[in-house]
Structures are given as C-alpha cells and as structure tokens.
Amino acid sequence: MAITIKTKDEIAKMRIAGRLAADVLHMIRPHVQPGITTGELDRICHDYIVNVQKAIPAPLNYRGFPKSICTSVNHQVCHGIPGERMLKAGDILNIDITVIKDDYHGDTSKMMFVGEPSVLARRVAQVAHDALCLGIEMVRPDIHLGDIGHAIQQHVEKNRCSVVREYCGHGIGRGFHEDPQVLHYGKPGTRERLVPGMTFTIEPMVNAGKRQVKLLKDGWTVVTRDRSLSAQWEHTMLVTDSGVEVLTQREGDGL
C-alpha cells in the first residue's frame, strides 16, 4: 500500500480526530487511581467517545481486539486488554486511545502513574517521553524516517534502556495502520523521505531492561521477556511545508 498524502480537507478531519483522541487521555487521567480496574477505565473511555464525542473507538473489534482502549501495566509493553486487573499505588500504565471521527483516525498514548512511581519507573517513562519528543522535533520535509529512528535509538540506548523492535509507528488516516512503518531504530539516510501532507505516528516502546518481548496467550498483550518495566508515548502528526504539526497535542499535560 502506498503512502497517502492528505488533502486540505483530509487534514482538517485529521485535526479533529487527533484532538478528540487527546481529549480522551485528558478526561481519563483523574480516574487513574488505586482501586480502579482497567476494565472500568475502558468503560469510561468507551462511553465518552461514543456518547460525548459521537466518535468510534477504533480498537473495538479491530482484528478481534475485544475492548475500546489499550491499557498496558508495568512490564506490559503494548496492546494490554482492559479487564479485572485493579490498579495499585506504584503501578505505571500506558493508556492508548484511537478514535475515528468522520472516517479519519487520531491515535495517541501516554504514561500515567498510580500514586508515587519508583525512581526506575519515572526514569523509563521519562526516557520514552524524551525519545518521542526528539523524534517529533526532527520531522520536516526531506528528512528520512531512518534519521528519526536512529535518533530515538541513540537516546534510549545512551540512557541504558532498550527499544522494542517488533512494533512501530505507522501512517494513519482513513486507515488505522497505513504505510509507512515508522521504526524507532535504524540508520540515518535510510527509509522513506518525508513529504508535506504525510500523517503518521511516532510511538517508541522503551524497556528498562532488554529489548526482547513476548506475546501472552490472550493473543494481544505484549510483555518484556525479562519482566523489566516498559514505557510508551505516542502522537499523531502531520508533515507541514516547514516542519511538523502534532495533531494529538494536549495543552499543559506532559510527563
């Protein structure tokens, strides 16, 4: 599948979908407290997306995924399925939201702390956050995706963490996962060259230990093989004539 360059009209729709996805993360943050289950977080997000935003939670029934959001706790890397698990003080989790509005997708995720995190938990979340930010800052026409992957990998490894290789960022638009693949590792000057009108995600998964992962028997949940903590942050962005526009930006809501 070729990379699609979005028209002005499509970009306007992507801006709306992106804002809605960001708004869900902002809405759910105060609910992330000791004692709540990931299933309850899913229900609150589902109802908000469907009833308030009049949008569609993209994960629900996507290739058989059973819930409306992904919740990945502690050593879970990504695609955690919300359920009976009760959050407790000291847990860290990634909440990943993808909404469809007017046929276009907005995809974003962030780390949240339940109570006070350990020093290591805070550090892996910070490294993943900084890796995403430095990737975003590089986005402009004519650079290569390999330049971004390389910079992210360098930053993560310099901080004695590791980058997950099996999952990557992606083009996004009418499709949830479009071309190109956006790897979070690589070599400068390789892979696709950016062009204005491209929309894609960057979503580095950073492990505090080794990079190897495994898939649980539920067919979705990805965990670190060495059970080390993992962190991920994600934004959807547009390549503009002069640089980048982050379509899922949240005001005053960083790490």
Residues that bind ligand MF3 (CB under 6 A): 59, 62-63, 65, 70, 79, 96, 98, 107, 203, 220, 234
Q: Provide the 10 A C-beta neighbour count for residue 125.
A: 25
Sheet holding 162-163, edge to edge: 162-163, 205-207, 230-232
The dihedrals phi and psi of 246, each to the nearest 5 degrees, come to -85, 115
Q: Which does 79 bind (CB under 5 to 8 A by kind): Co ion, ligand MF3, none?
A: ligand MF3
Rounded to whole angstroms, the Cα distance separating 216 from 221 reads 5
Q: Least distance (Å) from ligand MF3 to the CB of residue 177?
A: 6
x-or-dash string of contact with Co ion, 220-249, rule CB under 5 A: --------------x---------------
x-or-dash string of contact with Co ion, 167-206, rule CB under 5 A: ----------------------------------x-----
Q: Least distance (Å) from ligand MF3 to the CB of residue 108?
A: 8
Rounded to whole angstroms, the Cα distance separating 101 from 20 reads 8
SS3 of 96-116? EEEEEECCEEEEEEEEEECCC
Span 76-135, contacts to Co ion by CB under 5 A: 96, 107, 109
Binding stretches for Co ion (CB under 5 A): 96, 107, 109, 201, 234
